[in-house]
């Protein structure tokens, strides 16, 4: 008699295994798309390191434009290494192309700047 008192009057409807698998697949696809978007945003965002490198390259470019001696060199500022390359500009004797590249301590390229400058040599 005790068992008859515990009987439920309402039956609980459960999900079939197919419904559970389909809902799991939908959740996995949505999560995968969200992770791809998050990774792309993180990769393309401007970090403090990139902003610092850009500022250092701009400062080094100003110094190189004012200098009369245009030679290839490597400059170390804080933890950044800046490589300066000077090449002639398309058969123009009065112009040069300066390429500045900033590298982090792991020797990975952080930023790059390229500009045509006027030679001060006479």
pTM across the whole model: 0.59
Q: What tokens were used for 66?
A: 């004012």
- Residues 90, 91, 92, 98, CA torsion sign: positive
**The CA-based dihedral angle spanning residues 86, 87, 92, 93, taken in that order and rounded to the nearest 10 degrees:** 60
Torsion angle of C-alpha atoms 59, 64, 108, 89, degrees rounded to 10: 130
Condensed to tens digits (0 to 9), the pLDDT of residues 64-103 reads 878 777 788 888 888 889 999 988 888 778 888 889 999 9
- Of the CA atoms within 13 Å of residue 101, those in its CB half-sphere come to 10
**Range of weakest confidence among 48-57, 59-68, 99-108:** 59-68
Q: Is 3 helix (H, G, I), strand (E, B) or coil?
A: helix
Domain ranges of the chain: 2-44, 48-118
Residue 104 has pLDDT above 50, yes or no: yes
CATH number listed for the domain at residues 48-118: 2.20.25
């Amino acid at each position: 008699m005790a068992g008859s008192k515990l009987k439920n009057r309402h039956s609980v409807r459960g999900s079939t295994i197919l419904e559970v698998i389909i809902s799991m697949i939908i959740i996995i696809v949505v999560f995968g798309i969200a992770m791809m978007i998050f990774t792309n945003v993180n990769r393309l965002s401007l970090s403090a390191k990139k902003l610092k490198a850009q500022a250092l390259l701009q400062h080094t470019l100003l110094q190189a434009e004012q200098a009369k001696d245009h030679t290839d060199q490597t400059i170390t500022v804080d933890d950044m290494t800046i490589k300066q390359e000077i090449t002639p500009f398309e058969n123009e004797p009065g112009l040069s192309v300066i390429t500045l590249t900033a590298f982090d301590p792991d020797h990975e390229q952080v930023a790059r700047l390229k500009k045509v400058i006027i030679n001060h040599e006479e």
